[in-house]
């Protein structure tokens, strides 16, 4: 099953969005961003299903938090494989470049 990894620049931001989702009854897994996806090495991510992405994005917009990107996560033969699903997401809800 394909999972998604939403990357955030800080622990505070990821915790804020995770709490907002928990209030809606949605549990997501918080993790360090894999090194291959993190330019700074200190970002965090939420792992969720495709069905939870809409709620996650709404929580980001409500909290004025900009995502570092959303990546598809699939099992590879040598570990997880990541593909960019959505570029960074402005806090006003518009897609990057629009």
Per-residue model confidence (pLDDT) at position 94:
44
Name the CATH architecture for the domain at 3-86: 2-Layer Sandwich (3.30)
Mean pLDDT of 9-27: 94
Domain residue extents for the chain = 3-86
Whole-structure pTM value = 0.82
Cβ proximity of 30 and 45 under 8 Å = yes
Cβ proximity of 21 and 55 under 8 Å = yes
Per-residue model confidence (pLDDT) at position 28:
95
Query: Chain centroid to CA 9: how far?
Result: 10
- Determine the Cα–Cα distance for residues 82 and 74; give it in Å rounded to an integer: 7
Token representation of residue 44: 């965090």
- 94 versus 85: which is more confidently predicted? 85
Cβ proximity of 41 and 9 under 8 Å = no
**96 — pLDDT class (breaks 50, 70, 90):** very low
pLDDT digits (tens, 9 = 90+) for 22-60: 999 999 999 998 888 876 667 899 999 999 999 999 999
């Amino acid at each position: 099953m394909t999972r998604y990894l939403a990357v955030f620049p800080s622990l505070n931001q990821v915790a804020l969005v995770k709490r907002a989702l928990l209030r809606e009854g949605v549990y997501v897994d918080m993790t360090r961003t894999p090194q291959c996806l993190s330019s700074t090495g200190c970002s965090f991510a939420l792992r969720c299903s495709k069905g939870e992405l809409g709620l996650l994005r709404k929580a980001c917009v409500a909290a004025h938090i900009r995502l570092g990107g959303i990546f598809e996560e699939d099992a590879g033969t040598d570990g997880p494989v990541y593909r960019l699903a959505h570029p960074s997401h402005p806090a006003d809800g518009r897609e990057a470049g629009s």
